[in-house]
Amino acid sequence: MSSSHQDYMQLALQLAERGRFTVSPNPMVGCVIVKNNQIIGQGFHQHAGKAHAELIALREAGTDAQGAILYVTLEPCCHDGKTPPCVNALIKSQIKKIYIACLDPNPLVAGKGIENLRAAGIKVELGLLADQAIKLNQIFFHYITHHRPFVIAKWAMSLDGKTTTHLNDTRDISSPASQMDAHELRKKVDAILIGSKTAIHDNPLLTIRYGADLNSHKHPIRIVLSTKGRLPLHLKLFDPALPAKTIIATTDMADQAWLKKAAKQQIEILMIPTNQHQQVDLFKFLNELGKREIASLLIEGGMTTHEQFMQANLINQLHVYLAPVMIGALEKKHILTNIDVKRHDSDFHFTANDQENRYV
């Protein structure tokens, strides 16, 4: 296969990536139209409910699209939604051939788009850079097939496995660079979740505070998981001036007086049935989020919350920031230096010096 075909699809994938912060719950899609070895149109899906990548590229190409070759990262849609079917526009444009990276698993599409294109006499090739295209939209693929969000667990810990420092020590475990990276992760999700203990003890904002493009994407919804409610309603994340909203996911075990106070503050309450352990049923909780078009969820709570999701086999991806420090029962964490990391099969071998005793 000509390397130019891969180059054009690679460009389409790069274009698709530009919609990462704004298209959810839709997939990221990029499109490039080529004629006589010249790009005559390109585009990417920019916002959910707005024009799809193919339509943007076709508008740019105009009548020159007739007889051209089109590269698109996801199978074109063939159903009426918030926008017209892309397949109809492609057929009308008289595009000669289409390279599609991967199928759309949406049951409303799932191969039907390709069938319609071929029935209209358009040549279609499927699978160009498919692995990259599938990885790009792994969140959407999970959401559209399971009807619940893709769950990402994130935490920072010391080399000896501690996730919190002691009271007389500085709170942060990870470096400023890692904290900025964690905020980049927040940008990519629809919602952030913590448990009630983290909400009370840390009193976090759960907002995005780093990056030059803070106004170019939507802010994630904040969710607190609390089986019995009882959360102080003066916590920072309940400030109505914050971007996006805060949801408390609780059960019928919550105090009625507390529920009334929360409603008075216009805090959204999500009532979830309990499981056999008298805790929030996480399956039903995620299903409810799916109904609200929340396609991705980042867990930032303590290890108890992470373990509950892990025990229920509901975590899709882990992000662990391993800091070169030792905490243990020490009053203050010991910083390690001269870090060296080796790989032995599936194990990681760390070598380091204690900063205070490296020359002893």
CB atoms within 10 A of CB 229: 21
What letter does residue 293 receive in the DSSP assignment?
T
Domain residues of the chain, as ranges? 5-140, 148-351
Do the bridges between strand 317-323 and strand 325-326 make them parallel or antiparallel, or are there none, so unpaired?
unpaired
Residue 360 has pLDDT above 50, yes or no: no
Identify the pLDDT of residue 322.
94
Cα torsion angle, 70, 76, 79, 84, sign: negative
Q: Please, which pLDDT band fits residue 213 given cuts at 50, 70 and 90?
A: low
Angle among Cα 130, 131, 134 to the nearest 5 degrees reads 85
Q: Which CATH architecture has domain 5-140?
A: 3-Layer(aba) Sandwich (3.40)
pLDDT > 70 fraction of the chain, expressed in percent and rounded: 96
> How far are the Cα atoms of 4, 146, 216 from residue 296, in angstroms, in the given order?
34, 12, 19
Q: Summarize the confidence of residues 312-329 as an average pLDDT.
A: 93
Identify the pLDDT of residue 78.
87
User: 168 phi and psi, to 5 degrees?
Assistant: -95, 15
Identify the pLDDT of residue 330.
78
pLDDT > 90 fraction of the chain, expressed in percent and rounded: 78
Pick the CATH number of 148-351 from 3.40.190.290, 3.30.1330.10, 3.40.430.10, 3.20.20.140: 3.40.430.10
pLDDT averaged over the chain? 92
Q: What's the rounded Cα separation, in Å, for the pair 192 and 245?
A: 11
The CA dihedral of 199, 205, 206, 207, to the nearest 10 degrees, is 170
Residue 214 has pLDDT above 60, yes or no: no
Q: Starting at the earlier edge strand, list the strands of the sheet with 69-72.
A: 38-44, 30-35, 69-72, 97-100, 123-126
215 vs 263, more confident: 263
| Residues acting as catalytic residues | 54
Residue 4 has pLDDT above 60, yes or no: yes
* Segment 93-119, tens digit of pLDDT: 999 999 999 999 998 889 889 999 999
Residue 210 has pLDDT above 80, yes or no: no
Residue 243 has pLDDT above 60, yes or no: yes
* Segment 45-83, tens digit of pLDDT: 999 889 999 999 999 999 999 999 999 999 999 887 777
Identify the pLDDT of residue 165.
84
User: 147 phi and psi, to 5 degrees?
Assistant: 60, 30
Residue in the structure block whose two tokens are 């290890």:
303
Identify the pLDDT of residue 46.
93
Q: Summarize the confidence of residues 159-187 as an average pLDDT.
A: 87
Identify the pLDDT of residue 79.
80
Q: Please, which pLDDT band fits residue 169 given cuts at 50, 70 and 90?
A: confident
Q: What's the rounded Cα separation, in Å, for the pair 88 and 152?
A: 37
Residue 84 has pLDDT above 60, yes or no: yes
Least confident of 289-293, 327-331, 339-343: 327-331
Contact 31, 72 (CB under 8 A): yes
Which residue type is seen at 276? Q
Contact 65, 93 (CB under 8 A): yes
Q: What's the rounded Cα separation, in Å, for the pair 163 and 305?
A: 13
Q: Summarize the confidence of residues 209-236 as an average pLDDT.
A: 83
Q: Summarize the confidence of residues 106-133 as an average pLDDT.
A: 93
